[in-house]
Chains A and B, each alone.
Chain A
Amino acid sequence: DAGVTQSPTHLIKTRGQQVTLRCSPKSGHDTVSWYQQALGQGPQFIFQYYEEEERQRGNFPDRFSGHQFPNYSSELNVNALLLGDSALYLCASSGLAAYEQYFGPGTRLTVT
């Protein structure tokens, strides 16, 4: 049973560029959440997707957007990258027990 997978593993971008991160949820899960984790901090909730709709959003600007596909996989897009966007981006999926989230290994984004 495959767990949550994310791609790419690492990414280096220049300030002002745009980036797309991808996530495939654990088999049987229909809800995908995205988090940003700065070094030494806890994951910060960006948004959650369910039935291809953004169901909940955290305190992140509109530069952060997402999408969920019919197969439940998801993308996170960040436009106009800032140096402060450098972080580990985590995707988590959940099923009926929505509080029990399964995290992927993350994408390490570095903005220079």
Chain B
Amino acid sequence: GQSLEQPSEVTAVEGAIVQINCTYQTSGFYGLSWYQQHDGGAPTFLSYNALDGLEETGRFSSFLSRSDSYGYLLLQELQMKDSASYFCAVWGLSSGSARQLTFGSGTQLTVLP
């Protein structure tokens, strides 16, 4: 099976940098994804890390350490519109032969003016 842990809430001010951590336990790991979900909206894909290291996409970066079963999402130059829930999700084998996404419980990010 798979389990993921991430903080339930994070608060930061506009323009700041925030890091959302995620640790996971899994028996069949292929990669770590991050999704953003605004209240009442659908989750939207942000990033995917299959290899160790940092991936940068604009103001967002995602990091993975496979040996530590750890990753993080880094959001820079925070804007009010970044207030949302952020989910880490393991892409891997849970049971059976096909890969699936297993989500964490989510981190509610609140950006203050």
Contact = CB atoms under 8 A, between A and B. Distances in A.
A98 B99 contact: yes
B91 A106 contact: no
B48 interface: yes
Contact of A100 (B45, B99, B103): B45
Nearest to A104: B42
> Interface residues of B toward A: which range?
20 to 34
A66 B8 CA distance: 32
Given A55-B98, A105-B41, A99 B104 contact: no
Given A42-B103, A56-B98, A56-B100, A99 B44 contact: no
A100 to B, nearest CB: 5
Contact of B94 (A58, A98, A106): A58
B83 interface: no
Contacts, number: 62
A76 interface: no
Interface stretch (A12-20, A43-51, A67-75): A43-51
Interface string B102-113: 111110000000
Contact of B42 (A50, A58, A99, A105): A105
Interface string A68-112: 000000000000000000000010100001111111111000000
A101 B21 CA distance: 21
A106 B42 contact: yes
B3 to A, nearest CB: 11
A57 interface: yes
Nearest to A103: B42
B87 to A, nearest CB: 5
Nearest to A105: B42
A99 B96 contact: no
A24 interface: no
7 contacts: A40-B105, A41-B106, A42-B104, A45-B101, A56-B100, A99-B31, A100-B45
- Please name the 4 residue pairs, one residue from A and one from B, whose CB atoms are nearest each other, closest first: A42-B103, A56-B98, A103-B42, A99-B91
Given A40-B105, A45-B100, A45-B101, 20 more contacts: A33-B101, A35-B103, A42-B105, A43-B43, A45-B103, A56-B97, A56-B98, A56-B100, A57-B96, A92-B43, A98-B91, A98-B99, A99-B30, A99-B33, A99-B91, A99-B99, A100-B45, A103-B42, A103-B44, A104-B42
